Chains A and B, each alone.
Chain A
């Protein structure tokens, strides 16, 4: 399988893959990130996702895709019942 990266198309076998899933009542966010096998990023040194402000595991990643599923958004309510008009 080939992966589009900032370095061009690369074989998935030449990359290390991380998947992060966040989910709450309103949304589900799944991020897929690829780094080089010899990536010096801190996340790979510790073995734990070391996410930065943008939610990335590693600042040296070559590919990152995100899939957000909106589960629910706030409802717009018009306040008014029949009694209000009587």
Chain B
């Protein structure tokens, strides 16, 4: 099996249900979201099978909690409010995700973005890259430029 880069299908439905707050919203007649959700990024082994059909974060296929890796991943810095440009809406974390003094439990090639504030840890997306391992080192995932062309999450 393999990991597949995708925005989770369940997340698309959850957008319609207002289940995710990447930023704060303006008031409407029913509710006002004044607190953003906390989003996390977790790393997955190349042997895992994460993809569009995922619905929630879980530890299946995640790096083991060894070598200074904590299962559940790291909190993403979210100082960028969702924005639009032309017909595209986009959002990107405002800082890199980083793991230091890491020794990975195996070859990994995917990162899962999920909503840590949600009770069931709703999964947002899977991002893949070339398979890597880290030994007593640092793994850094630098985010793309936050705009309508390269933003991490873009809806056109």
The CA-CA distance from A73 to B131 in the complex, in Å, is 17
Q: Which one of A5, A32, A76 contacts B12 once the chains associate, using CB atoms below 8 Å?
A: A76
Given contacts A31-B132, A55-B131, A77-B156, contact A71 B150 (CB under 8 A): yes
> With A and B bound together, what is the CA distance between A32 and B139 in angstroms?
10
Answer whether residue A68 sits at the interface, using C-beta atoms and an 8 A cutoff: yes
A73 CB, nearest partner CB in chain B, Å: 6
Does B141 contact A68, Cβ atoms closer than 8 Å? yes
| Chain A residues in the interface with B (C-beta under 8 A) | 4-6, 22, 27, 29, 31-32, 53-56, 61-78
Given A29-B129, A55-B131 in contact, is the A70-B141 Cβ separation under 8 Å?
Answer: yes
Chain A CB within 8 A of B26 CB = no
Residues of A within 8 A of B7 (CB): 74, 76
Residues B129 and A73 in contact, CB atoms below 8 Å apart: no
Chain B residues within 8 Å of A69, by CB: 142, 144
Q: Are B129 and A27 in contact (CB under 8 A)?
A: yes
Which residues of chain B have C-beta atoms less than 8 A from A31's C-beta? 132
A73 vs B132: C-alpha distance when bound (angstroms): 19
Q: What does the 1/0 interface line of B125-156 toward A look like (CB < 8 Å)?
A: 10101111111111111111000011011111
Chain B residues near A77 (CB-CB < 8 A) = 155-156
The one of B12, B107, B142, B152 in contact with A73, judged by C-beta atoms closer than 8 angstroms, is B152
- B5: Cβ under 8 A from any A Cβ: yes
Distance of B17 from chain A, by nearest CB (Å)? 16
List of A residues within 8 angstroms of B154 by Cβ: 73, 75-76
